[in-house]
Chain A
C-alpha cells in the first residue's frame, strides 16, 4: 500500500513537472493560477491551519510581494530575481511589524484586525507615487508561460516541504498547542509570541513570493486587485475545504475548487459564482473538517459520516 502510494506520488510530481510540454496554453495558464492559489492556501495553512489564527491579512503580504517586485523592476530597473527577494523581505518586515501587535488579539478580533489591515493597505498604496498611485504599475514583459508555471510549481513544492517540516518539528507541535489552547501552551513553556510571529512571518514570505510571481506573469499590478480580500477568503476556503492543519489538504482543496469554478465558469457563465457560494455552504454543513477528514472516515462510516456532521454542531 505504501509502495503504491509513493509510485502515485512520483507519477503526479513528474506529470506536474512535464505539463508545460504536454498541455495546451490554456491549461498551462490554469495550472499556473492553481499552483499560485495552492501556494497561498498552503501559506495560510501555516498561520491559520497550524497556529489556528484566522488571518484575513495574508493578501497584504501577497500585495506587498507583488508591489515590491514591481517597484524594484519598474522604478529601479533591477532584475526579477532581486525584485522578488526584495518584495519577500519587505513582506517579512511588515509581518513582524504588524504581527507583534495584532497577534496579541484572539479569535474574531484577530480576524477583523487583519481584515482591516488589508483594507487600509489598499488605501495607503493607492496614494503612493512610487507605486503608481491608484493606476498601478506595468512590469516588463517576459514571454513563456512555462517559465512561470515551473516557478510556481517550485514555490509550491518549497511551501509544502516547509509545512511538512513544520508538521513534525518542535515548532509545529508548538503551533498546534497554541491552536488547541494558547494559555496552556504558554504554561507548558512554548514561547507563544515567538512561535506565532514566526508562523506569520513564514506565511508572509510564501504569500509575497506568490504575489511577486503573479505580478511579473500578469505584467500589471494595481492596488484593488493586489490587496483583494476575496483572494484571502479564497485561500481560507481552499485550505479548509481540503483540510486545514494537514500537509496536503490545502493543495487538494485548491486544485478541486479551482477546477470546479473553472468548469462552472465555462459551462454556465454568470451562474458560476452562485454555485461556488452554494458549494461553500453545503461543504461547511456536511464536511466541516474538510476533505482530509472525509477521506479518512468516509470508508468506515458511509452516509453516517454526513449525518454525524449534521448533528455535530447543531443547536
Chain B
C-alpha cells in the first residue's frame, strides 16, 4: 500500500511539471491556432539558460526562474512578431512546417553552441528528501511541483482578470471583433506566443533541476505536451493541469505494474482513445 502511495505521489510530482510544460503549448494552440512543434526546443533553451545562470553566475535555479522565463519570452516574442505573424493565417500545414523548421534550427544551434554533452544543474540541496503522509518526497521535485502549480494559477489569473488577458481571449474568440475594440493583434499574438515560450522556459528551468539536459530533449517533450493538451482540453488552464497529473500518474503506474518500456504505449494509447471518444478533452463539454 505504501508503495502504491509512493507511486501516486511520484506521479503527481511528475504531473505538475508536465502540466507546466504543456500549458504554454495549449495557450498558443488555443489562442493562435498554431501547434508549436518548437515548444520542446524552448523548454530545452530554458534548461540551458538555467544551467548557465547556475554555473557562470552561481544563481540558484529557483531564483533564476524569472530570468529563464524572460530569456525565452524574448525569443518567442521576436519569433512571432517578425516571422510567425507572416504566415499565421495560412493553412495548418504551413504553421506546422515552419515551427518544425524553427525546432530544427534551435536544436542544431544548441548543439553547435552548447555541445551535445549532458549537463546537470546540481544545487547543494539536490539530494534532500522529506517525508509526508508516509511517502518520501525529493525536495527539488516537490519545489518544482509547487512552482509549476503556482505558475499555472498565475496564468489562469492573468487570462481571466487582467486587461492583457482579456485582449488575448478576445483574439482567440473573434479576431475581427477584437480589432474593432482596439486590440492590436500583432502585438497580442507576439505577447501570447512569448507567454507560451516563457512557460516553456520555466518548465525547462525546473526540468534542468530534476533531470539531465542535452540539445535533443525537446522533441519527446513536445510530443508529451501535445498529449497533455489534448487529454486536458484547450479550453482552460485547469484542464491542462488535470491532463498533466493524469499523464504523470498513468506513467508512474504503468512503469510499476506493466513495465517501464510500456509508458509511451500507455500515454499515447490513452491520447488516441481520448481523441476518439472525447475530442474536447476529459473536462471539455461534449456537444
Contact = CB atoms under 8 A, between A and B. Distances in A.
**Do A and B interact with each other, yes or no?**
yes
Contacts of B268: 116-117, 119-120, 123
Contacts of A120: 264-265, 268-269, 272
B257 to A, nearest CB: 14
Nearest to A314: B86
Q: Which of A101, A108, A314, A315 has the most CB of B within 10 A?
A: A315
A242 B188 CA distance: 34
| Band of interface residues on A | 35 or more
B85 A315 contact: yes
A104 B277 CA distance: 11
Contact of B89 (A48, A113, A279, A314): A314
Interface string A84-96: 0000000000000
Interface in B92-124: 92-94, 96-98, 100-105, 107-109, 111-112
Interface in A224-239: 229, 233, 236-237
Contact of A281 (B105, B107, B262): B105
A115 B279 contact: no
A221 to B, nearest CB: 18
Contacts of B111: 270
B35 interface: yes
B206 to A, nearest CB: 23
Contacts, number: 142
B272 A113 contact: yes
B259 interface: yes
| Band of interface residues on B | 35 or more
Interface in B212-233: 219, 223, 226-227, 230
A302 interface: no
A23 to B, nearest CB: 30
A104 B276 contact: yes
Contacts of A127: 259, 261-262, 265
A314 B92 contact: no
Contacts of A134: 261
Contact of B105 (A102, A240, A278): A278
B265 A123 contact: yes
A271 B109 CA distance: 8
A244 interface: yes
A108 B234 CA distance: 12
Nearest to B102: A281
Nearest to B84: A315
B83 interface: yes
A7 interface: no
A278 B106 CA distance: 10
Contact of B271 (A112, A244, A313): A112
The 9 closest A-B pairs by CB, nearest first: A277-B104, A280-B101, A313-B90, A123-B265, A277-B105, A120-B268, A281-B101, A116-B268, A123-B264
25 contacts: A101-B276, A104-B276, A108-B35, A111-B96, A115-B226, A116-B226, A116-B275, A120-B272, A123-B261, A123-B268, A127-B262, A229-B223, A236-B93, A236-B97, A244-B93, A277-B101, A277-B102, A278-B101, A279-B101, A281-B101, A284-B98, A285-B83, A313-B86, A314-B86, A315-B186
